[in-house]
Amino acid sequence: MQTIIEPQKKISVIAEADVCVLGGSCTGVFAAVRAARLGMRVVLIERLNRLGGVATAGLVNIWHTLQDMDDREQIIAGLTDEVITVLNARGALTVKNNRSSTYNFNPMELTIILDEMIREHGIRLMLHTYYSAVVAEDGRLDAVIVENQDGRGAVRAKFFIDATGDGYVCRDLGIEQYVSDYIQPPTACFNLQGNIAGSDLKGIWKEHGAEFGLTDDWGWSARVAGLSGITMRADMHIFDVRCDRAEDLTRAEMEGRRQARAMLSLLQKYGDPEENYAITNLCSSLGLRETVHYRTRMQAKEIALLTGERYDAPILKGTYPIDIHHHGDGGITIKYLDGTRRTKWGKGTRTEISNWREEMGLSGESAKYYQIPFDVLVGERYENFIAAGRMLNADAGAYGALRVMVNLNQLGEAAGVAAALCCEYNTSLQSLDGRLVSETLRKGGSAV
């Protein structure tokens, strides 16, 4: 590959803060809000025109249950619960007694609520602003370089949080990166107008899908709260792509839109002739389930989650099962804390059920929820830097459970609290007592 030297350039410092958060999904916003509530001056950088990440730009509109496995104890609270309350009050939420899709929300309303949270907490937000480089020396970050309409500028802060999902700051800091043996494939979500119920989607997909280049694939859909006749469709995957690579990402975005059109064509030709099927919204950012991970002090492990291991300094509680979308055979395997393992392939073509607890010879009560300790977020090399989001240090199984938003939201809150505590006590991330993070999270409304 040919190379050129980029000329050195003096860059203006366009913002200074206590805490700078890169990436404005709920993970990043919740980190920013928690830090602001602890008295920090916060800057939040987001490359798109809106906050919310996969939940808004990706159209993924489901949050899972906040309850333990018995539905007796609320194990997730904090900002997730606060946002649910506001969504509900605005008629932008459908609540179901269903562990795998408890809250269906309206992504447009979520976008507006996140804007309001930013205003209410006096956070300086920069939209259409792209993180592009980091300035660090001797284990400390001094600034990040961002780009927007004004050109390149530096943002200085005492502490930095990488909530970009892909861990771009981690990458630029040279933190050890790894990919799972089992990277979960992406899906391009879209909103569809028209009632599918009367059209035997599974049947027509099986019989005529190939005519439109649609393979037999497992997928799901969800009503968009507050909108009648509109569903969010996530019926397909894009296989054989590595979306941490620019060329693959471009190919995947285009393939996702091709799939959406193919499904619409299938319905228009073979679906209910009375229905006016149409695509009403395409995701403005492909739904990435997984790209790369970065090492920290401790890796979250599947076995610890499944057996409900407990910690001194928990920052997250959850019940979402280990949910792994297969690479290429249109299947999905889900392992629940109660022992059930269910694998499904295609549009209802085949299901297998087994029990992982019996296979492991486990007896006694199963865990009612799992925990994650603070150490999972603590990197070893940079004293004023933390990463939270799907770049999480987790083995394939643990990642399959932790990757959903009710969990990543909690990681964001923990990152914001940790950043604020490091600033307040003038200490490094590595010396911060995780128990203080847990305690501060609880005082701020979390159920950890």
Ligand X SMILES: Cc1cc2nc3c(=O)[nH]c(=O)nc-3n(C[C@H](O)[C@H](O)[C@H](O)COP(=O)(O)OP(=O)(O)OC[C@H]3O[C@@H](n4cnc5c(N)ncnc54)[C@H](O)[C@@H]3O)c2cc1C
State the residues that interact with ligand X by CB under 6 A: 22-25, 27, 45-48, 53-55, 60, 62-64, 130-131, 163-165, 168, 186-187, 189, 234, 287-289, 389-390, 403-406, 408
Which residue is it, tokens 């006590």?
425
CB of 143 to ligand X, least distance (A): 15
CB of 183 to ligand X, least distance (A): 12
Residue nearer to ligand X on the CB measure, 41 or 64: 64
375 closest CA partner among 430, 304, 420, 439: 430
Closest residue (Cβ) to ligand X? 53
One-letter amino acid for residue 241 of the chain = V
CB of 74 to ligand X, least distance (A): 17
CB of 45 to ligand X, least distance (A): 5
> Number of C-alpha atoms within 13 angstroms, CB side, residue 359?
9
CB of 62 to ligand X, least distance (A): 4
CB of 47 to ligand X, least distance (A): 4
Which residue is it, tokens 């780009």?
147
Residues 145, 211: Cα–Cα separation, whole Å: 48
Q: Which residues contact 273 (CB under 8 A, 6 or more apart)?
A: none
Residues 291, 244: Cα–Cα separation, whole Å: 6
Residue nearer to ligand X on the CB measure, 270 or 378: 378
* Helix, coil or strand: residue 63: strand
What is the bridge-based pairing of β-strands 151-162 and 13-22?
parallel
What is the bridge-based pairing of β-strands 140-148 and 93-95?
unpaired
Residue nearer to ligand X on the CB measure, 290 or 383: 290
Residues 123, 312: Cα–Cα separation, whole Å: 32
Residue nearer to ligand X on the CB measure, 123 or 408: 408
Q: Residue 373: left if φ>0, alpha if ψ -120 to 50, beta else—which one?
A: beta
Residue nearer to ligand X on the CB measure, 190 or 270: 190
Per-position DSSP letters for 324-368, written without gaps between them: EE-SSSSEEEEE-TTSEEEEEETTTTEEEEEEHHHHTT--SPPPS
- Name the helix (H) or strand (E) containing 193: strand 190-193
* Helix, coil or strand: residue 288: coil
C-alpha pair distances (Å), 297 with each of 76, 262, 373: 24, 45, 11
Residue nearer to ligand X on the CB measure, 22 or 40: 22
CB of 86 to ligand X, least distance (A): 18
CB of 276 to ligand X, least distance (A): 26
CB of 312 to ligand X, least distance (A): 26
Burial, 83: exposed, middle or buried (Cβ in 10 Å; 0-12, 13-18, 19+)?
buried
Residue nearer to ligand X on the CB measure, 168 or 294: 168
Residue nearer to ligand X on the CB measure, 131 or 311: 131
Residue nearer to ligand X on the CB measure, 125 or 405: 405
